[in-house]
Amino acid sequence: MKELALHILDIAENSLRAGASRIDIEIVEDPAEDTVRVAITDDGRGMDEETLKKALDPFFTTKDVRKVGMGLSLLRQAARRTGGDLRVQSRPGEGTAVTAEFVRSHIDRQPLGDMASTITAVLLQNPAIELRYHHAIGADGFTFDTSQVRSVLDGVPLSDPEVLQFIGNLIRERQQLT
């Protein structure tokens, strides 16, 4: 993947497929510690111990169209290339938390990329999702929460193309200020 934002979209696709109604995406960049921590947490169906163990095996998937799953192992490779690592915590019926940590200044650390497009792609797929996105760099940061726009929208779905453009532009603008 060229961007961390594409990995994040891919991990959020797993959350959507697991029936999540809430997804929390957190990116914390710590220049002093030289780390980037990316955490995607959902309240989807979760995994039992055996599935969880296999989930990081690139030759495992519960999909039936293809024999290999790649999303999680790809992200783990990307984190490890920089000297970081990936952690997955999950409980059946409760949800899943995927945390990837990167060494921020490492030459192989992918740029964050277009988070606005990643967020709007998730919202298009499940306009009823409760999504929180937080991005911090040191002491600066911002949070986007679907509840902020939903209270204004009064039943108009978040998947409306103009609403999605609005949200995308909002995140893009905030990202530039961070």
Partner 1 sequence: MAKLTIEELRRIRDEAKRSRTLREGEGKARITVHMGTCGIASGAREVMNALLGAIDEHGIQDVLVTTSGCAGLCSHEPMATVEYRDTPPVKYAKLTPESIVRVLLEHADKGAIVREHALAIGSEKMS
Ligand X SMILES: Nc1ncnc2c1ncn2[C@@H]1O[C@H](COP(=O)(O)OP(=O)(O)OP(=O)(O)O)[C@@H](O)[C@H]1O
Q: Which residues bind Mg ion (CB under 5 A)?
A: 14, 71
- Figure out which of the listed residues 62, 105, 143, 169 binds ligand X, where binding follows CB under 6 A: 62
Question: Using CA atoms, how far apart are residues 29 and 38, in angstroms rounded to an integer?
Answer: 9
- Figure out which of the listed residues 22, 170, 176, 178 binds partner 1, where binding follows CB under 8 A: 170
Please report how close the Cβ of residue 34 comes to partner 1 at its closest, in angstroms: 27
Question: Using CA atoms, how far apart are residues 175 and 160, in angstroms rounded to an integer?
Answer: 22
- Figure out which of the listed residues 37, 39, 43, 71 binds ligand X, where binding follows CB under 6 A: 71
Whose CA is closest to 61, among 70, 74, 49?
Answer: 70
| Paired sense of beta strands 140-145 and 85-91, if any | unpaired
Mention every residue, 6+ apart, whose C-beta is less than 8 A from residue 81.
106, 108
Q: By CB under 6 A, which span of 10-18, 124-132, 142-150, 158-166 interacts with ligand X?
A: 10-18
| Of residues 51 and 169, the one with the C-beta less far from ligand X | 51
Structure tokens that stand for 1 in this block: 């993947």
- Distances in Å between the Cα of 125 and the Cα atoms of 28, 33, 87 are 25, 36, 26
Give the total residue count for the chain. Answer: 178
Binding site for partner 1 (CB under 8 A): 1, 6, 9-10, 13, 17, 63, 65-66, 69-71, 74, 114, 117-118, 120-121, 124-125, 149, 152-156, 160-166, 169-170, 173
Residues in touch with ligand X (CB under 6 A): 10, 14-15, 18, 42, 44-47, 51, 55, 61-63, 69-73, 96
